[in-house]
Amino acid sequence: MSIHQGSIHAVMSLLVMSLLWVSMASEARDTTPKLEKAPNASVETILSGFAELPPDVDAFPNQSNMDLYAWREFIALNWPAAPGTCEPDRSRTFLDTKGPRVWETWLQPSDVFVPPGEAPARWCSAREERARLGKIQQSVGGVLVDQNGRFVRYEVRLNEDAYNYLLANNLWNKAGQREATINLPAGPDDKFCKDQSCGPVGTVEVKAAWKVLGQGDDPSRFYTIEAEVYNDDLVPPTASPDPNPVTLGLVGLHIAHKTASQRSWLWATFEHVDNVTKSFNNPDCPETPSYTPNPPRPCTTRCCAPNAPTAAKDPETKTYVELDPFGQPLHRPTQVTRLRGPSSQRLNKHFKVLFGNSPWSNYELISNQWMGINPQTPTPTYLANTVMETFIQGQHPASDGIPAYPAPGYNPFSTRTSSSCIKCHSVAKTTSGRSADFSFLFSGAQ
């Protein structure tokens, strides 16, 4: 791959950063990728150093190092998967856009939290040929409607270390959770995981957001999949009146990772760069008032109230319905604006350069939330993905002051509470009401 002259500087800085990374990390363990040919390295060589994820940050805990680690997670998890192994295929490069990517081969909660009497799927067992995306509601409820009137679809997956822990401790069912104290594995340096494998990387859980690509969307700007979508989220869901499968573009990716040094996990979130300029925002809306943390004023069709839900539940089915029987959208687009910017535009630019013309160059890290140097202080304090925590991006409402975590009366699911990954996930419980170690997966057990 040829690198644009003007971009050399950025690539070189990244290379220097990678080398710094290697020298810092290699003190701890020698599984770290070696960039021996670094001075003449091609983009592919640089990226191949990121195919395998080191289990922890291994660098001074500050935001820049957390952000760089988040990018390492993004590349390792989005590496093309080798057929049948669910591991990165080292014979292919990151810039090869064909799926599935590593995280897409991981199991979904519904494969693991199966009804009693059934057995959870085996790790990396043969998967259905085509993805089915049934989840349309955000974690605080509500749906996100794109500029074409289509809903955003969500999916969740867990890695092998999490899977092994759930199976070894019989935590995939309600009965097994009854007396259990949940302590998900945090990788090889985990001092607290007794008598069992802590896994080579620790627990990783991801949540992805997908947008139906339609009029005005350029599929070459997205990582895409073909998937079956539905008209609602009933069980079983209603078939869409529109043709299926559809092409979807990845618009958001949460990566949550429990590591030995970050026992309240690392919370990285990535977005597609068109989210708040095009896909979920009409820059020409004649009346877009500025954002206010108060509920939006009643809006006419000429008005796009930012970050306010536009869809109401269908009174009959009690859930959200996307299209009418003729395939026409039932809801107005949601006008999405970002209230807090990416923590490192500089780092994002470096990776953009490395990714060249590939669709991956259109993804950006918003931030990686971690437990900062001051105890009980998530850093950054608030973090939201505009397509996953659309309606609770905040703006420091009085009800949710700076640290207080988890304070009595704290209700992360109120639309008046600002989105904080760590704070909200800290309230996750098992089916027996015990702390679930930041993972909402347990509550789905049967």
- Span of 5-13, 119-127, 204-212, 281-289 interacting with ligand HEC by CB under 6 A: 204-212
Strand ranges, E, within 46-151? 131-133
The footprint of ligand HEC on residues 128-157 (CB under 6 A) is 139-140, 156
- Span of 85-93, 163-171, 194-202, 377-385 interacting with ligand HEC by CB under 6 A: 377-385
Are 173 and 116 in contact, with CB atoms under 8 Å apart? yes
When asked if residue 419 is in the footprint of ligand HEC (CB under 6 A), the reply is yes
Tokens 């160059």 belong to residue: 361
Q: How far apart are CA 338 and CA 343, in angstroms?
A: 13
Interface with ligand HEC (CB under 6 A), residue from 153, 254, 331, 352: 254
DSSP 164-232: HHHHHTTTTSHHHHTTPPP-----TT-SS--SS---SS--EEEEEEEEE--TT--GGGS-EEEEEEBSS
- Span of 22-30, 69-77, 93-101, 378-386 interacting with ligand HEC by CB under 6 A: 378-386
Pick 140 or 330: Cβ nearer ligand HEC: 140
Pick 72 or 425: Cβ nearer ligand HEC: 425
Sign of the dihedral defined by the CA atoms of residues 79, 81, 85, 86, in that order = positive
- Span of 115-123, 180-188, 209-217, 418-426 interacting with ligand HEC by CB under 6 A: 418-426
Are 248 and 210 in contact, with CB atoms under 8 Å apart? yes
Interface with ligand HEC (CB under 6 A), residue from 81, 288, 412, 426: 412
**Stretch 82-121: interaction string toward ligand HEC, x if CB under 6 A:** ----------------------------------------
How wide is the angle at C-alpha 238 spanned by C-alphas 205 and 217, nearest 5°?
65
Total of residues contacting ligand HEC (CB under 6 A)? 25
The footprint of ligand HEC on residues 330-349 (CB under 6 A) is none
| 257 alpha carbon, distance to own chain's centre | 11
The footprint of ligand HEC on residues 45-74 (CB under 6 A) is none
Reading the block at residue 441, the tokens are: 């997966």
Q: How far apart are CA 251 and CA 336, in angstroms?
A: 13
Interface with ligand HEC (CB under 6 A), residue from 232, 389, 400, 437: 389
Q: How far apart are CA 351 and CA 361, in angstroms?
A: 7
Interface with ligand HEC (CB under 6 A), residue from 383, 387, 390, 394: 383
Interface with ligand HEC (CB under 6 A), residue from 173, 203, 259, 269: 269
When asked if residue 299 is in the footprint of ligand HEC (CB under 6 A), the reply is no
Reading the block at residue 208, the tokens are: 């992805």
When asked if residue 391 is in the footprint of ligand HEC (CB under 6 A), the reply is no
Query: Would you call 363 helix, strand, or coil by DSSP?
Result: strand
For every residue of 270-332, which 3-state class applies, written as one string? EEECCHHHHHCCCCCCCECCCCCCCCCCCCCCCECCECCCCCCCCCCCCCCCCECCCCCECCC
* Shortest reach from residue 156's CB to ligand HEC, in Å: 4
- Span of 44-52, 178-186, 307-315, 385-393 interacting with ligand HEC by CB under 6 A: 385-393
When asked if residue 379 is in the footprint of ligand HEC (CB under 6 A), the reply is no
* Shortest reach from residue 265's CB to ligand HEC, in Å: 9
> With 0-12 CB in 10 A as exposed, 13-18 as middle and 19+ as buried, what is 3?
middle
* Shortest reach from residue 388's CB to ligand HEC, in Å: 7
Residue among 85, 8, 5, 99 nearest 46 (CA): 8
When asked if residue 207 is in the footprint of ligand HEC (CB under 6 A), the reply is yes
Query: Which residues bind to ligand HEC, rule: CB under 6 A?
Result: 139-140, 156, 205-207, 254, 256, 267, 269, 383-385, 389, 392, 412-413, 419-421, 424-425, 439-441
